[in-house]
Amino acid sequence: MAENYQITYNIDLVLCIDSTASMVPVIDMVKDNALHFFEDVMAAMAAKSKMINKLRVRVISFRDYLADGDDAMMETDFFVLPDQIEEFSNTINSIAAEGGGDEPEDGLEALGYAIRSPWDTEGIKKREVIVVWTDASTHNLGYGAEAPNYPKNMAKDFNELTSWWGNAQLNGYVGFSEKRLLLFAPDAPYWNTISDNWENVIHFPSQAGEGLNDYDYSTIIDAIANSI
Amino acid sequence: MYELSEYFNIVDVYSEEKKEGMGEDYFSYSYPRECQNNNAFIAVFDGCGGIGAKRYKIDAETTETYTGAYLASRICAYKTLEYYENSGSFDFDISDCKKLKYEYCKALDEINNKCLNRGSELRGSLASKSFPTTASIISVSCQNGHINSEFLWVGDSRGYILDSSGLRQVTEDDLNGDQDAMSNISSDASMSNVINLDVDFDIHFKLVKVNKPSLFISATDGCFGYFPTPMHFEYVILDSICSSENIMEFEEKIRDYINTFTADDFTFGIIATGFGSFKSMKSYFMDRERYIYENYIRIMNDENIDDIKYELWEKYKINYYSN
């Protein structure tokens, strides 16, 4: 009776990393967490006998459009893991913390790119997980719009970005049931607005995850894996 | 599992953890001595591991911590049994919802006050519920050949009736989005209503009168959520009955079937009424088992299941939702 029919999961991970100069004290920790996050989720899922059919990960490194110009945003395509583990590791290891100008950064633009990722459309069960590591609040969307490389199709304001995330009444660019957003970000605008209002969010209020103990980390991994 | 009085031929609950000692499902049911009377109940609870992943320390002597989901399912199962034992039966009206909600909230509040920590500092909708669990409770009363059943539920655990017409889902899933049992196998919509300590929740209620031999089935989503279609879930129950010689064998087969497919803890409870014996129950379901096999399972075995399953579901769901 369809014994070879197994519910499997296609998982897309998007890792958004603040790579401005203020991240210098924590950037190595963040890069290490980024490199191992998918392994920890996979291990938690394996413990529940949840079979992953395909796992892809892409990286978005963000700074500040006005202060950093062409270095403001770096985004990769999806790497298929484990086949492209080396390319993925090299990308993470190449990230350096520098630039950024004033304290708020363009984290919302990074989130906009992440939300509009070319998500996997195949598979029986899909999950679309975005993780953000930052130590800073965010500018309003469009703050850096005068920069020549500012994206033309970016959400015009926070309300539009919220609609990109979607809700029970209106689908966004991420599947309503599939999406998960994990924030390692300070209790600051707009991260706190997101954690208070958007669906399927986990927020660890901190400087890019600093101070995260094993207890909270296992809680986060459990929350992600158990909701997959 | 027990063969019981003239009223209840079987009352059984089975629960299995995917990760030993970490299971977030739990259950309670009326013991055989209560079943000598004319009523019985089964209740299953699925602690919500995603939104209930916060860990709590409740004993100063040990370093052991428990997730809110783990604690909630056990506490609510115990309070349901206590509620039943205090009065000897459920009320079979909507007052059961109000009384059980009061008992659950009181007990969860007590455990929250006893906790030596308050969980983590995590925020956001996916990590913000204290002590979340689903519930599916079925209480059955038999009098003068008539069977009254009461279904109480919260979240996506389900209550079913299986008779010669087939499997019917009596409960309605509390989901954000599509409630269709077929599409939710792949979409996994999040729950819109669970027992918890932070925000208000509803315990739903439905009374169903039954006038033929029936199985009442209460199940967590680990039982039904990983089969390719809802038709497979019915077939698993029927085939387990029809290929077994006794109740123990039946339980073993259904457990093995579910284990082959599921990626979750699973718990089911069954009350069988009106059959007289396992042998007559087996005989009663033979025709239905053959019908489901020939009209659904065999076709899906022979063809690409993904090409044909929605068409078959359209036919099947007419009876499945006929409450």
- With CA atoms as reference, the chain B residue closest to A224 would be B50
Instruction: Out of A1, A51, A215, name the one closest to residue B235 (CB).
Output: A1
- Position with higher pLDDT, A215 vs A6: A6
The string of pLDDT tens digits covering residues A62-101 is 999 999 999 999 999 999 998 999 999 999 999 999 998 8
Mean pLDDT of B14-22: 70
Instruction: Return the percentage of chain B with pLDDT > 90, whole number.
Output: 59
Q: Give the pLDDT score at B21.
A: 65
Asked if CATH classification 3.50.50.60 holds for the domain at A8-226, the reply, yes or no, is no
E-strand stretches of A138-214: 179-185, 201-205
Q: Which two tokens stand for residue B38?
A: 């004319």
| Residue whose token pair is 């010689």 | B245
**Interface mutation target, options B20, B188, B296, chain A, most CBs of A under 10 Å:** B188
Q: Give the pLDDT score at A68.
A: 95
The string of pLDDT tens digits covering residues B219-261 is 999 999 999 999 999 999 999 999 999 888 999 999 999 988 8
- Position with higher pLDDT, B305 vs B36: B305
Nearest-angstrom CA–CA distance, B212 and B294: 24
Selection from A224, A225, A142, A151 nearest residue A184 by Cα: A224
Contact B127 A125 (CB under 8 A): no
DSSP state of A140: P
The distance from CA B274 to its chain's CA centroid, rounded to whole angstroms, is: 21
- Position with higher pLDDT, B138 vs B3: B138
Q: Give the pLDDT score at B144.
A: 72
Nearest-angstrom CA–CA distance, B39 and B7: 8
Contact B123 A202 (CB under 8 A): yes
The distance from CA B251 to its chain's CA centroid, rounded to whole angstroms, is: 15
CB atoms within 10 A of CB B31: 13
Nearest-angstrom CA–CA distance, B55 and B10: 37
Contact A195 B123 (CB under 8 A): yes
Handedness of CA B271, B276, B281, B287 (dihedral sign): negative
Q: Give the pLDDT score at A228.
A: 59
Q: Give the pLDDT score at B3.
A: 43
For residues A149 and A72, the answer to whether their CB atoms sit within 8 Å is yes
DSSP secondary structure, B89-120, as one string: S--SSTHHHHHHHHHHHHHHHHHHHH-SS---
Cβ-proximal residues to B253 (8 Å cutoff; 6+ apart), any chain: B239, B240, B243, B244
Contact A168 B53 (CB under 8 A): no
Mean pLDDT of A10-39: 92
Whether residue B10 is predicted with pLDDT greater than 80 in this model: the reply is no
For residues B286 and B242, the answer to whether their CB atoms sit within 8 Å is yes
Mean pLDDT of B119-130: 75
Q: Give the pLDDT score at A81.
A: 92
Three-state DSSP at A136 gives coil
Q: Which two tokens stand for residue B231?
A: 């038709």
| Residue whose token pair is 């769901």 | B317
Instruction: Return the percentage of chain B with pLDDT > 70, whole number.
Output: 91
The string of pLDDT tens digits covering residues B145-200 is 788 999 999 999 999 999 999 999 999 999 987 789 998 888 777 888 999 998 89
pTM of the model as a whole: 0.84
Handedness of CA B5, B7, B10, B14 (dihedral sign): negative
Nearest-angstrom CA–CA distance, A174 and A128: 7
Instruction: Out of B18, B51, B65, name the one closest to residue A48 (CB).
Output: B18
Cβ-proximal residues to B164 (8 Å cutoff; 6+ apart), any chain: B212, B213, B284, B285, B287, B288
Which domains are seen in chain B, by residue range? Answer: 8-320 (3.60.40.10)
Could you tell me the pLDDT band of residue B118, with boundaries at 50, 70 and 90?
A: low
Whether residue A225 is predicted with pLDDT greater than 90 in this model: the reply is no
Whether residue A145 is predicted with pLDDT greater than 50 in this model: the reply is yes
Could you tell me the pLDDT band of residue A215, with boundaries at 50, 70 and 90?
A: low
Could you tell me the pLDDT band of residue B31, with boundaries at 50, 70 and 90?
A: low
Nearest-angstrom CA–CA distance, A52 and A11: 7
Q: Which two tokens stand for residue A83?
A: 């086949």
Instruction: Out of B189, B236, B305, name the one closest to residue A5 (CB).
Output: B305
Mean of per-residue pLDDT scores for chain A = 89
Please state the domain extents for chain A: 8-226
CB pairs under 8 A between A and B: 120
CA distances to B43, B68, B98, B101, B105 from B197, rounded to whole Å, are 20, 10, 15, 11, 7
Q: Give the pLDDT score at A115.
A: 98
Could you tell me the pLDDT band of residue B119, with boundaries at 50, 70 and 90?
A: low
| Residue whose token pair is 């059959």 | B275
Instruction: Out of B120, B232, B260, name the one closest to residue A215 (CB).
Output: B120
Q: Which helix (H) or strand (E) holds B214?
A: strand B214-219
Contact A203 B124 (CB under 8 A): yes
Least confident of A46-60, B63-77, B266-280: A46-60
Q: Give the pLDDT score at B104.
A: 98
Q: Which positions in chain A touch B55 (Cβ < 8 Å)? A: 215, 218-219
For residues A84-106, one letter each, b for 16 or more C-beta atoms within 10 angstroms of the residue's C-beta and e for the rest, the string is beeebeebbeebebebbbeebbb
Q: Give the pLDDT score at B1.
A: 41
Burial of A21 (0-12, 13-18, 19+ CB in 10 A): middle
Q: Give the pLDDT score at B164.
A: 95
Whether residue B2 is predicted with pLDDT greater than 50 in this model: the reply is no
Three-state DSSP at B246 gives coil
For residues B153 and B136, the answer to whether their CB atoms sit within 8 Å is yes
**Is the Cβ of B304 closer than 8 Å to some Cβ of chain A?**
no
